[in-house]
Structure 1
Amino acid sequence: MIFDKQNNNTTIVTHEKGGVNDFCLRLEEVYDKLASDHLVVNLFSLDRLEAADLGALTGISARHRGNNKSFVIVTNKISPDEVPGELVVVPTLQEARDIIEMDEIERDLGL
């Protein structure tokens, strides 16, 4: 797991090896250190990904978004039609940054 802090309020967490469930367990272990940042979960290293794999991230995502922070998953290994509705999944890191920026604007406007 690689952590890359950007813009003083966003951390990109990059999956290196192992399965999504192991990644989620490790993310839970360090979550308190990341809770004040917007999170981008980069899953590009996975050769294959299924909707069921993303289910493991649903709880972390809901908790994080409940704290008024963005939680965006980056992967191009799954069709947007397969993504659970409570998750935000985009195919590129730039799109993840754009989502976070839009979320911040909405929060500033009270939407």
Structure 2
Amino acid sequence: MKVDQKGHTTTIKNTQFKTAEFITKLTHEYNSFKNQNLIIDLSTDKEIVMEDVKSFSELIKKHKKNKKSFVLVTDSIDYNKVPSSITLVPTLLEAHDIIEMEEIERDLGF
């Protein structure tokens, strides 16, 4: 797990675990990241499936209650099949753009 923090955003890259193990580790260390916008970079896992993406749902719900962004990054999933409660983008640049837009929306009270 590689962690990179810039400003109010933390990017966490899964470098060595299967997705289920990664979610367990992320959940265990969640308190370290709960006050940051999170980008979860899953782009190195080319075998990721929709069920893996959906398994982040509880963590996403918990994080959004704190009024922080949670964005998953992978280009291996059909975006049309992703539930609307999950923000999934193909690149890190798009993830940063989404977070910037969500920050502006929160500042404006949306």
With the shorter chain as reference, the TM-score category is over 0.9
Q: Partners of 2:79 and 2:5 in 1: how far apart?
A: 27
| TM-score in terms of structure 2 length | 0.96
The percent of aligned pairs where both chains have the same amino acid is: 35
- Unaligned stretches of 5+ residues in structure 2: none
Q: Partners of 2:24 and 2:49 in 1: how far apart?
A: 18
Matched residue, 2:6: 6
Correspondence 1:29-108 to 2 at 5 A: 29-108=28-107
Q: Partners of 2:12 and 2:80 in 1: how far apart?
A: 24
- Per residue, is there more helix in 1 or in 2? 1
| Paired residue type of 1:97 | H
Deviations 1:51-108 (A, max 9, x none): 1111210100111011000000000000101212210000000100000000010001
| TM-score in terms of structure 1 length | 0.96
Q: Where do 4+ consecutive residues of structure 1 move more than 2 Å? A: none
Correspondence 1:12-27 to 2 at 5 A: 12-27=11-26
Q: Please give the secondary structure, in 2, of the residue aligned with 1:11.
A: strand
RMSD: 0.8
Q: Partners of 2:18 and 2:68 in 1: how far apart?
A: 25
| Paired residue type of 2:45 | L
8 Å contact kept, 1:73–1:89 = yes
Shift of 1:49: 1.6
- Unaligned stretches of 5+ residues in structure 1: none
Q: Please give the secondary structure, in 2, of the residue aligned with 1:5.
A: strand
Aligned length: 110
